[in-house]
Structure 1
Amino acid sequence: MRLRLTGLMAVAAAALSITAADAQMRPPAALSNQIVDVPEKPGYVPSPGEEQLDPQLRRQPVFFRNNEPPGTIIIHTNERFLYLVLGPSSALRYGIGVGREGFQWSGLQKVSRKAEWPDWTPPPEMIQRQPYLPRFMAGGPGNPMGAAALYLGQTVYRIHGTNMPDTIGMAVSSGCFRLVNADVQDLYNRVPVGTKVVIRQAPEL
Structure 2
Amino acid sequence: MSGSPLNRRRLLGGAAVAVGALAVPALVRAQDSDAIIRNNASSFRMLDWNSYFDNTRKGAILVDITSRALHYWSEDQSIYRLYPTSVPLSDDLTRKGRTEVVQKVVNPSWRPTPSMKERNPEWPDVVEGGAPDNPLGTRALYLSWTYYRIHGTHDTRKIGRKSSNGCVGLYNEHIEELFEMAQVGTQVLLI
Q: Same fold (TM over 0.5)?
A: yes
Alpha-carbon separation, structure 2, partners of 1:149 and 1:20: 31
Equivalent residue for 1:133, pick from 100, 118, 123: 123
Which letter maps to 1:172?
S
The offset of 1:90, in angstroms, is 7.9
Deviations 1:13-39 (A, max 9, x none): xxx9xx949x958xx69xxxxxxxxxx
Structure 1: runs of 5+ lacking an equivalent:
1-15, 30-54, 201-205
Q: 1:149 is matched with which residue? A: 140
Deviations 1:122-171 (A, max 9, x none): 11211122222100111113211100100011421000111211010111
User: 2:95 is matched with which residue?
Assistant: 105
Residue 178 of structure 2 is aligned to residue 192 of structure 1:
no
Residues 46, 82 of structure 2: 8 Å contact kept: no
Q: Which runs of 5+ in 2 are unaligned?
A: 1-14, 29-37
User: Which whole-Å CA distance do the structure 1 matches of 2:162 and 2:125 have between them?
Assistant: 24
Q: CA, structure 1 residues 164+144, in 2 after alignment: closer, same or farther (shift >3 Å)?
A: same
In structure 1, the partner of 2:81 is 92
Residue type of the partner of 1:126? M
Q: Does the Cα contact within 8 Å between 1:112 and 1:154 map onto a contact in 2?
A: no
* Residue identity opposite 2:82 in structure 1: R
* In structure 2, distance between residues paired with 1:79 and 1:167: 14
- The equivalent residue for 1:76 is 64
Q: 1:90 to 1:181 in 2, by over 3 A?
A: closer
Provide the secondary structure at the position in 2 that maps to 1:161.
strand
Residues 63 and 89 of structure 1 are in contact (CA less than 8 Å); yes or no, is this contact kept in structure 2?
Answer: no
* 3-state SS, counterpart of residue 153 of structure 2: coil
Does the CA-based 8 Å contact 1:65-1:89 persist in structure 2? no
1:174 aligns with 2:165: yes
Q: CA RMSD in A?
A: 3.0
The answer as to whether partners of 2:110 and 2:136 remain within 8 angstroms in 1 is yes
Partner secondary structure for residue 185 of structure 2: coil
Corresponding residue of 1:65: 48
Structure 1 residues 88 and 181, CA, compared in 2 at 3 Å: closer, same or farther?
closer
How far off is 1:175 after superposition? 0.8
Q: What TM-score results when the alignment is normalised by the length of structure 1?
A: 0.65
Cα deviation, 1:93-119, whole Å, max 9, x if unaligned, reads 011001111212211001000100001
The aligned length equals 151
Query: Using the alignment, how far apart are the partners of 2:166 and 2:145 within structure 1?
Result: 14
Distance in 1 of aligned mates of 2:107 and 2:171: 13
Give the TM-score of the pair, scaled to structure 2. 0.70
> Aligned equivalents of 1:108 and 1:159: distance in 2?
14
Quote the residue 1:164 is aligned against: 155
CA contact (8 A) 2:135 2:153 kept: yes
